Amino acid sequence: MSDSVGIKHRKVVSKGQLAVLELLYKFRFGSIELLRISLGLNEGPGLYNKLKILVDEGYVGKRWRIVFM
């Protein structure tokens, strides 16, 4: 039996994803707004897509914060 049966192969991290990882490493936590401002990005799905890939690949964890008004 081979050891590689249950191993999931990760994709190569792009430059944009690496920039997100470096910011999260520096500040430990971040929100979409803070990442967008720090990276100088406009609104749009680009940052969401980068974060989704990083979460799916296991590079970043996701925590939910519920705010009651």
Q: Identity (one letter) of the amino acid at 23?
A: L
Angle in degrees, 0-180, between the axes of helices 32-39 and 15-27, rounded to the nearest 10: 120
Taking the C-alpha atoms of residue 49 and residue 47, their distance in angstroms, rounded to an integer, is 5
- Residue 9 has a pLDDT of 65
Q: What is the pLDDT of residues 17-48, one digit of tens each?
A: 999 999 888 888 888 888 898 888 888 788 88
Q: Please, which residues have CB within 8 angstroms of residue 43's CB and are 6 or more apart in sequence?
A: 36
pTM of the model: 0.69
- Residue 1 has a pLDDT of 46
Q: Identity (one letter) of the amino acid at 25?
A: Y
- Residue 6 has a pLDDT of 53
